[in-house]
A = this chain, B = another copy of it.
Amino acid sequence: MIKILVDCFGGDHSPEAPVNGALAALKANPDLYLMLTGDEVLLRKELEGKDYDRERLEIVHAPEVIGCDEKPTDVVRLKRNSSMMKAIILLRDRDDISALVSTGSTGALVTGALVRLGRIPGVIRPAFCPVLPTMDGGIVGICDSGANVEVTSAHLRQFAIMASLYMENVYGVKNPRTALLNVGKEAEKGDELRQETYGLLKKTTSVNFVGNMESRDLLSGRYDVVVADGFSGNVLVKTTEGTALELLKKIKKDIYSRTLYKLGALLMRRMFKEEKEFMNYQNYGGSVLLGTSKVVVKGHGSSKAVAVQKCIEQAYRMEQSGLSAKIETEIAKYEHYDV
């Protein structure tokens, strides 16, 4: 039995989406046990009349609410009875619980995980690794995408190792082609950080380093892992999502401008629906935090039930694959780490 905590508040569609996502995950995975954190009265109400295995679902009462404009450090310190912090503390204290899924505040989740959970031995900085679809039907993981806005080459090397293991163990990508995000392909491109990291990754045998990647090639299908500082990684991921969504929105608007187009679109309705689903990042699970002592998956704030379900199943696979132990082993191969 794998036990996973689901933070049921903080997302845009709380608590319906987390609760319904949890029930769907429970149904699909007989080996799963879920603990929902949040206001017990509201959670009971949401569960009312629904059919699920009561032996594998538990409610943990955590009534405090986190405000939008609260500082992450204040949340961690003062809101111990919020659905998120209660979950983090439980995850830390109980050996039988493996993971946490949350659609709440990213800042509070990162800070809480770092302060309360700690890291896998040897890991300097945990980092986010969301996954995006590539145009050839594959996927690509981007690490870091926002947990660390300031980094060193030693951090970037660890991100490469962790993300490679993640893509291999959780998504079955063999020997992931790993690139460094840079402003050009040549080894000498970019700032000092990039040049230094390039040299370091060349020497890192745990990683199949294929060189620098220019951001326009992210979706080409030529890369499985892209390593970046949290600032530019964040720009990379959000620009991709934003451009795809804006472009599809524009096409939709243009279709409505002429009857002929509407007719054409009618014939292509299924295709457009598929394109939309294809670019919907909610279909690719959440952004996992790699390097914390226990598994943490951050779902998008706007996650619907199916997205939460995917996050839960992602956490499940991470735990099942023994990813943390593998990260520890691989990281340990590089002793003189913080260059």
Give the interface centre of A218, A232, A236, A239 by most chain B CB atoms within 10 Å. Answer: A239
A240-281: contact bitstring with B at CB < 8 Å (1 yes, 0 no)? 111111111111001100101101111110010011001100
Chain B residues within an 8 Å CB radius of A239: 215-216, 218, 235-236, 239-240, 243
Chain B residues within an 8 Å CB radius of A236: 235, 239
Distance A146 CA – B190 CA, assembled complex (angstroms): 9
Chain B residues within an 8 Å CB radius of A246: 135, 219-220
Chief secondary structure at chain A's binding surface? helix
Quick check: is A284 within 8 A (CB to CB) of the other chain?
Answer: no
Known: A241-B216, A243-B219. A267 touches B271 (CB 8 A): no
Q: Which residue on B lies nearest to A230, using beta carbons?
A: B183
Known: A244-B247, A249-B135. A216 touches B238 (CB 8 A): yes
Residues of A within 8 A of B (CB-CB), count:
55
**Partner-B contacts on A (CB < 8 A):** 69, 135, 146, 149-150, 181, 183, 186, 190-192, 194, 214-220, 230-232, 234-236, 238-251, 254-255, 258, 260-261, 263-268, 271, 274-275, 278-279
Q: A135-B250, A149-B191, A268-B268 are in contact. List 12 more A-B contacts (CB 8 A).
A: A135-B247, A149-B190, A183-B234, A183-B235, A190-B231, A215-B235, A215-B242, A216-B245, A218-B243, A235-B239, A247-B247, A258-B271
